[in-house]
Every structure is written in C-alpha cells, then in structure tokens.
Amino acid sequence: MTTVRVLIQSKAGVLDPEGEAVKGGIERLGHEGVERVGVGKVVDIDFETDDTDEIESRVEQICDEFLVNPIIERYSYEILDNQ
C-alpha cells in the first residue's frame, strides 16, 4: 500500500476568508506578530498499488479532473510510504 499526501491551497492573490478568520482568532488569543494565515486541505489517499509511476499519473488525473479548482487553487503532493 502507498499513501499519497496532497496539499490543496489557495493561489497567491486569491481571497482566503478561512485564513483571515483563523488569523483573527489567533490575534484574539493574544498572539501578536502573525503576518498571514493560509488555510487549505490535506488529502491523504491510500492506493493498493506500489507502482510509483501509476500512482503519480493517477494523482495528477484526480487533482486535474476533480479535486482541485485550477482557477483559484494550486496543489502539490508527496508519496509518504511505499510498503
């Protein structure tokens, strides 16, 4: 089994109201010196196969066709373990 970790985050310049809300909450807790907060999604996908090439091709298809909105989001991924 192989786990892939996909991170989906707002593109630079795109409004991130959840990040702004978290930043406000942190400041209300009394923490100064926080410049920016960005909130996105982490999606862990467990594949049965251990074929790295196949997994990379599938992850890119899944992100491009379904999981990520390329107008406002960017994604990156890493293969966590291969066992």
Residues near a copy of itself (CB under 8 A) are 1, 7-9, 19, 22, 25-26, 29, 31, 33-49, 58, 61-62, 65-67
Residue type, 12: A
Minimum distance of a copy of itself from residue 80's CB (angstroms)? 12
Instruction: State how far the Cα of 71 lies from the Cα of 69, in Å rounded to an integer.
Output: 6
Which of residues 7 and 14 has its CB atom nearest to a copy of itself in the complex? 7
Minimum distance of a copy of itself from residue 33's CB (angstroms)? 4
Instruction: State how far the Cα of 47 lies from the Cα of 60, in Å rounded to an integer.
Output: 14
